[in-house]
Amino acid sequence: GGFVEGENTVTINVKTKTGKEKTYTITAKAHADSNPYLDELSVKDHTITPTFESTSTTTYLLTVASNVNSIYINAVPHSSTTTVEGDGAHELKYGNNTFVINTTAEDGTPFTYRIVVTRPADGNSKLATLEVTPGELDPIFKPSVLDYDVVLPAKSTYIRVNATAES
């Protein structure tokens, strides 16, 4: 094995042909690695912005096409003793998806990176028409208006809503 964290003693015994002995002692102090940084952070088949910089930039952005439903985050630590959590395959929902990559150095020093992936909504979610029976919409229907009131005749027992989506 190798050295363990803390003091490690190496002893060298020297014996001459006449029987005289001398002992040399070397004390090696091994410190745990304190570097939690990554050498590489990337998303397979995509480019994050800004360009990866391991120590000063912690949040990266990426916009994918609406038909991309998953990504693969590749995180390579500077030190082989650093642990990484949050890399690998991730599913995407529509809108913003924040993925946290936590690293921990051998001595427990933590560091956190974030990748915010935006997946735009698939197509147009506006209505082309919106009608109610009985009653009338207030204000008059416009695709950009989302809130309406309806005044129903007295003793109404139902309301029928007809809507057509924009293509």
Residues 31-75: pLDDT tens digits?
Answer: 888 999 999 999 999 999 999 999 989 999 999 998 899 999 999
List the 59-63 sheet strands across, edge first: 59-63, 110-119, 95-104, 83-85
Among 59, 58, 62, 68, which residue's Cα sits nearest to residue 47?
62
127 confidence band (pLDDT: 50, 70, 90): confident
165 confidence band (pLDDT: 50, 70, 90): confident
| 8 A C-beta contact, residue 77 and residue 103 | yes
b/e sequence 29-67, b meaning 16+ C-beta within 10 Å:
eeeebebbbbeebbbeebebeeeeebeeeeebebebeee
123 confidence band (pLDDT: 50, 70, 90): low
Contacts made by residues 153-159, CB under 8 angstroms, sequence distance 24+: 159/132, 159/133, 159/134, 159/135
pLDDT surpassing 70 at residue 100: yes
Mean pLDDT of all residues in 70-81: 96
Report the chain's mean pLDDT, rounded to a whole number.
90
86 confidence band (pLDDT: 50, 70, 90): very high
| 8 A C-beta contact, residue 26 and residue 7 | no
Query: So what's the pLDDT on residue 58?
Result: 96
d(CA 153, CA 65): 47
pLDDT surpassing 90 at residue 5: no
SS3 of residue 104 by DSSP:
strand
Write the pLDDT tens digit of every residue in 12-29.
999 989 989 999 999 888
124 confidence band (pLDDT: 50, 70, 90): low
